[in-house]
């Protein structure tokens, strides 16, 4: 009976290891393939001991007993992160002002030297003026790292050409009288339509003032809209995330990543604009929020909409796609049923991982604990040095997005791992080390299809 039990357990482990090797091979994860096959070989050897060397069965008995103890430890539930469950307000520790869009480095590069807006901003932030002056001249996505490889750069330019066309139609006024429908049904339809249009993750929230810019502009204009006052904005937001291709992202920092960024920004501008006009057709205001038109900061808005947590890399980490998403939204006054912020163990996992920080080529991601910035606890990414590296390579890098363990493909294997991390007290502490063992600590560029290669 003991021999049969051991045989079944060991056969199960062999099958799991072979499944992991096959999945890792599909993902071009060579190290994970090797580790999985070594694990399978070990269990094949163990099978030989179980069947042919019964006198040594204490070895497999001890081994599986140890696995059982570890398994029981993984069953200890983790305590929920009460701060994460409060959304953006959970991390406010002081006087948190509404964000100024000019604090976004790529936005303030558009400030025109000599204008009142330029002098007003740098009068308050003189330490940024010289650095911005240098980077403003270099601000480009031209594929320098790949010698400006024309086919991929043309993909980048083609995709980024779409949001400017959407900018002028971002605001959709009500076309008719409000349609009589319950918020529950409206929300169900809106989420269904957004996913049908291409969104992978969709959430709804009340618009928190901490997510609304006080001084905003679009990146396609040369004039700032400066008011500094509380703005009249719609109370609800439908927030949407489109998926960045795993293949494209894992080519970072080469041109396929920037091509996919442009692609998903274009998709986001399309989806949000269609949704804005759907709300308009229902008799309510719809304002599309995308890279061509921002009134709000989208990552914290997505947190409010229950779509994930903000990671050490500054990106939203979603439960199924990790950081491999681009965000868009629609602001509306149509009553909707809001989603609650969620806890996916992101903060605890990031505390123990730091892989994005260690592999960041510009050392822009902190390895320290969260610190206070503008009245909020957060991991503050150094946007200036990050942007400088983008200018150096002529792409948007995406290494920190790709190497995040949460950003693995949405497969059953990785889904089980994410579920364990979210529910186990032990998993967020030890799985970062297991990720290093399987996938390595260093960043490795992975191959792309021939049509996308830059060589």
Our CA dihedral for 268, 271, 276, 281, rounded to 10 degrees, sits at 170
For residue 170, pLDDT over 50 is answered with: yes
The dihedral through the CA atoms of 66, 71, 75, 76 has a sign that is positive
Mean of the pLDDT values across residues 178-194?
Answer: 98
Report percent pLDDT > 70 for the chain.
Answer: 96
Alpha helices in 89-197 (DSSP H): 105-108, 116-124, 126-138, 150-160, 162-167, 183-197
The dihedral through the CA atoms of 310, 313, 315, 319 has a sign that is negative
Peptide bond into 32 cis (omega under 30): no
Lookup result for tokens 């009288």: 177
Q: What is the predicted pLDDT for the residue at 223?
A: 37
Residues of 176-201 as b/e, b for ≥16 C-beta within 10 angstroms? eeeeeeeeeebbeebbebbeebebbb
Q: Which residues contact 445 (CB under 8 A, 6 or more apart)?
A: 250, 251, 252, 254
Mean of the pLDDT values across residues 419-443?
Answer: 96
Q: What is the predicted pLDDT for the residue at 455?
A: 82
Mean of the pLDDT values across residues 45-55?
Answer: 92
The Cα–Cα gap between 204 and 391 comes to: 35
* 41's tokens: 């070989």
pLDDT band of residue 216 (cuts 50, 70, 90) is: low
pLDDT band of residue 214 (cuts 50, 70, 90) is: confident
Q: Residue 297 CB: number of other CB atoms within 10 A? A: 21
The Cα–Cα gap between 435 and 437 comes to: 5
Q: What is the predicted pLDDT for the residue at 380?
A: 95
Q: What is the predicted pLDDT for the residue at 219?
A: 44
Q: What is the predicted pLDDT for the residue at 231?
A: 54
232 vs 205 pLDDT, higher one: 205
Residue 279, φ and ψ in degrees, nearest 5: -60, -40
Asked which of 112-116, 171-175, 290-294, 375-379 is least confident by mean pLDDT, the reply is 112-116
Q: Which residues contact 444 (CB under 8 A, 6 or more apart)?
A: none
The Cα–Cα gap between 115 and 314 comes to: 31
In angstroms, what CA-CA distances link 283 with 96, 168, 174, 178, 295? 35, 20, 5, 4, 22
* Residue count of the chain: 455
Q: What is the predicted pLDDT for the residue at 228?
A: 45
The Cα–Cα gap between 75 and 122 comes to: 54
Tell me if residue 304 falls in helix, strand or coil. Answer: helix
Question: Is the Cβ–Cβ distance between 167 and 293 less than 8 Å?
Answer: yes
Mean of the pLDDT values across residues 18-26?
Answer: 97
Per-residue model confidence as pLDDT tens digits over 224-247:
344 444 557 899 999 999 999 999
Report percent pLDDT > 90 for the chain.
Answer: 79
For residue 128, pLDDT over 80 is answered with: yes
Find the angle CA(329)-CA(335)-CA(338) to the nearest 5 degrees.
65
């Amino acid at each position: 009976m003991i021999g049969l039990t051991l045989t079944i357990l060991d056969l199960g482990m062999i099958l799991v290891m072979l499944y992991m090797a096959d999945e890792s091979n599909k993902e071009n994860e060579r190290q994970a393939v090797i580790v999985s096959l070594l694990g399978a070989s070990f269990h094949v050897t163990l099978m030989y001991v179980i069947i042919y060397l019964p006198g040594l069965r204490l070895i497999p008995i001890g081994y599986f007993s140890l696995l059982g103890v570890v398994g029981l430890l993984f069953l200890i539930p983790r305590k929920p992160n009460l701060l994460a469950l409060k959304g953006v307000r959970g991390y406010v520790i002081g006087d948190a002002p509404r964000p100024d869009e000019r604090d976004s480095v790529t936005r303030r590069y558009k400030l025109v030297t000599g204008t009142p807006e330029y002098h007003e901003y740098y009068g308050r932030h003189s330490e940024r003026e010289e650095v911005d002056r240098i980077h403003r001249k270099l601000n480009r996505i031209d594929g320098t790292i790949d010698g400006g490889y024309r086919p991929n750069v043309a993909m980048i330019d083609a995709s980024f050409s779409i949001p400017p066309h959407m900018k002028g139609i971002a605001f959709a006024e009500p076309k008719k009288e409000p349609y009589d429908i319950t918020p529950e049904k409206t929300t169900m339809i809106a989420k269904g339509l957004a996913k049908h249009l291409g969104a992978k993750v969709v959430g709804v929230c009340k618009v928190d003032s901490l997510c609304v810019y006080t001084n905003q502009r679009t990146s396609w204009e040369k004039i700032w809209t400066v008011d500094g006052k509380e703005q009249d904005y719609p109370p609800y937001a439908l927030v949407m995330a489109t998926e960045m291709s795993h293949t494209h992202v894992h080519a970072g920092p080469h041109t396929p990543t920037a091509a996919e960024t442009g692609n998903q920004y274009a998709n986001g501008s399309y989806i949000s604009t269609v949704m804005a006009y759907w709300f308009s057709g229902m008799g309510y205001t719809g304002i599309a929020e995308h890279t061509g038109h921002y009134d709000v900061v989208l990552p914290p808005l997505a947190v409010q909409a229950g779509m994930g947590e903000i990671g050490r890399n500054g990106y939203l980490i979603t439960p199924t796609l990790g950081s491999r998403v681009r965000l868009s939204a629609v602001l509306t006054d149509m009553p909707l049923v809001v989603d609650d912020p969620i806890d996916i163990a992101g903060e605890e996992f990031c505390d123990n991982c730091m892989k994005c920080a260690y592999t960041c080529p510009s050392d822009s991601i902190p390895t320290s604990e969260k610190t206070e910035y503008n009245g909020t606890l957060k991991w503050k990414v150094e946007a200036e040095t990050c942007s400088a590296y983008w200018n150096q390579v002529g792409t948007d890098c995406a290494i920190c997005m790709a190497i995040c363990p949460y950003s693995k493909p949405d497969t059953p294997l990785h889904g089980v791992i994410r579920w364990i991390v979210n529910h186990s007290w032990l998993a967020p502490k030890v799985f970062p080390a297991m990720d290093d063992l399987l996938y390595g600590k260093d960043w490795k560029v992975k191959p792309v299809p021939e049509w996308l290669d830059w060589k």
